[in-house]
């Protein structure tokens, strides 16, 4: 990547007051969640990005560079991407090298589009240098679980389209993993466990595993579940567990009904899928933090659409259930004591 192109991209991000720092425009009033009431724990901060779609966007490398540069400055404890990152093509090696610039731990979640082109999950994680297809790790007194929501439902009645299922072997692993920790636990999965509009097909069953883990532990062990995939902005609470959707770094897919060339004829020729999307002008991402008192906060970020908005194109506001927006919202929530 040429430094001149990168500088030009970052300069463009600041036009019109859309950004205060390279970490976007951090919105005031972040999500605030009291995770626990026991003795103080170590502080932890981690960067989250989702659905950059390097294989669709023409500026994926530039978007990722902004994220990585900011995470280095913010000195977060680790970073994680929630899927639809990049396919294991040699042409994506420069993109992957940008990710590897971050000096701390880096974690991956497999997305449904990361397997496009006939790649297996094993090929994807080998290319990324990810540990496993699903796994867990501990950091600063907290337990983190990464799920693979792209397994196939063996039933002949499964829905058409991409696999979005968590199989029996992974379910059993998850139950055992949760039994073996007494730490407050945070879950990551590409597809939502709380969204039946294209989310995990057997999400209710997986949620029951999380809820039973809380019952068996005698305290609210599993507190947060992060997902990407839906390119939307929302959060839900189900039986004392919060499910937070992290918006895409890049765009929302609108499909054939709202085709629009957003950048130029030249860009469209090289990247023909962009016209089916509504891109976000700047990359949006977030930083999650748990302070020494066990209070969780999530910073918001805001930008604008490139070209006409979905509403401008005549798309109903709630055609996708939740409104399509170019931001990660600030919210204030508290767990029930």
Question: What is the dihedral sign for C-alpha 81, 83, 88, 94?
Answer: negative
Q: What is the pLDDT of residues 133-179, one digit of tens each?
A: 999 999 999 999 999 999 999 999 898 999 999 999 999 999 999 99
Per the model's pLDDT, the better-predicted residue between 34 and 82 turns out to be: 82
pLDDT at 261 (0 to 100): 96
Contacts by 10-13, CB closer than 8 A, 24 or more apart: 10/66, 13/66, 13/281, 13/282
pLDDT at 260 (0 to 100): 96
**Spatial contact of 150 and 164, defined as CB atoms under 8 Å apart:** yes
pLDDT at 2 (0 to 100): 43
> 241: closest CA among 266, 264, 215?
215
pLDDT at 110 (0 to 100): 98
- pTM, to two decimals: 0.89
pLDDT at 334 (0 to 100): 61
Q: What is the pLDDT of residues 246-297, one digit of tens each?
A: 999 999 999 999 999 999 999 999 999 999 999 999 999 999 998 887 788 9
Query: How far is the C-alpha of 278 from the C-alpha of 82, rounded, in Å?
Result: 20
Q: What is the pLDDT of residues 15-71, one digit of tens each?
A: 333 343 444 444 444 455 555 444 446 889 999 999 999 999 999 999 999 999 999
SS3 222: strand
Question: What is the dihedral sign for C-alpha 181, 182, 185, 191?
Answer: positive
Name the DSSP class of 100. Answer: T
pLDDT at 294 (0 to 100): 78
Query: How far is the C-alpha of 105 from the C-alpha of 103, rounded, in Å?
Result: 7
pLDDT tier, 7 (very low <50, low <70, confident <90, very high otherwise): very low
pLDDT at 9 (0 to 100): 47
Query: How far is the C-alpha of 277 from the C-alpha of 294, rounded, in Å?
Result: 39
Q: What is the pLDDT of residues 191-221, one digit of tens each?
A: 999 999 999 999 999 999 999 999 999 999 9
Domain range list for the chain? 3-328
pLDDT tier, 72 (very low <50, low <70, confident <90, very high otherwise): very high
pLDDT at 119 (0 to 100): 97
The greatest distance separating any two alpha carbons of the chain, rounded to the nearest whole angstrom, comes to 59
Query: How far is the C-alpha of 139 from the C-alpha of 147, rounded, in Å?
Result: 17
Q: Is the pLDDT of residue 238 over 60?
A: yes
Q: Is the pLDDT of residue 13 over 50?
A: no
Query: How far is the C-alpha of 308 from the C-alpha of 314, rounded, in Å?
Result: 10
Q: What is the pLDDT of residues 89-139, one digit of tens each?
A: 999 999 999 999 999 999 999 999 999 999 999 999 999 999 999 999 999
pLDDT at 166 (0 to 100): 98
CATH architecture of residue range(s) 3-328: 4-Layer Sandwich (3.60)
Query: How far is the C-alpha of 80 from the C-alpha of 46, rounded, in Å?
Result: 8
């Amino acid at each position: 990547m040429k430094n001149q192109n990168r500088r030009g991209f970052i300069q463009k991000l600041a036009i019109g007051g859309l950004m205060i720092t390279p970490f976007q425009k951090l919105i005031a009033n972040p999500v605030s969640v009291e995770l626990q009431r026991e003795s103080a724990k170590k502080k932890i901060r981690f960067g989250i990005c989702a659905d950059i779609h390097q294989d669709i966007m023409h500026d994926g490398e530039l978007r990722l560079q902004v994220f990585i540069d900011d995470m280095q400055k913010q000195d977060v404890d680790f970073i994680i991407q929630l899927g639809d990152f990049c396919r294991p093509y040699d042409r994506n090696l420069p993109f992957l090298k940008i990710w590897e610039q971050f000096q701390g731990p880096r974690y991956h979640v497999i997305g449904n589009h990361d397997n496009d082109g006939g790649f297996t999950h094993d090929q994807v994680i080998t290319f990324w240098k990810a540990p496993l297809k699903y796994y867990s790790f501990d950091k600063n007194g907290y337990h983190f679980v990464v799920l693979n929501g792209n397994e196939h439902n063996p039933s002949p009645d499964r829905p058409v389209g991409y696999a979005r299922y968590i199989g029996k072997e992974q379910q059993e692993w998850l139950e055992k993993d949760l039994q073996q920790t007494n730490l407050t636990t945070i879950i990551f999965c590409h597809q939502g466990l709380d969204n039946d509009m294209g989310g995990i097909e057997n999400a209710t069953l997986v949620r029951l595993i999380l809820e039973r883990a809380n019952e068996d532990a005698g305290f609210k062990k599993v507190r947060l579940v992060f997902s990407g995939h839906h390119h939307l902005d929302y959060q839900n609470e189900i039986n004392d567990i919060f499910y937070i959707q992290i918006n895409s770094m890049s765009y929302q897919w609108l499909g054939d009904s709202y085709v629009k060339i957003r950048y130029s004829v030249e860009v469209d020729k090289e990247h023909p899928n962009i016209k089916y999307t509504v891109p976000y002008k700047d990359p949006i991402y977030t930083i999650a933090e748990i302070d020494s008192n066990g209070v969780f906060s999530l910073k918001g970020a805001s930008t604008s659409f490139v070209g006409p908005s979905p509403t401008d194109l005549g798309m109903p506001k709630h055609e996708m259930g939740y409104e399509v927006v170019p931001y990660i919202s600030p919210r204030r929530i508290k767990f029930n004591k």
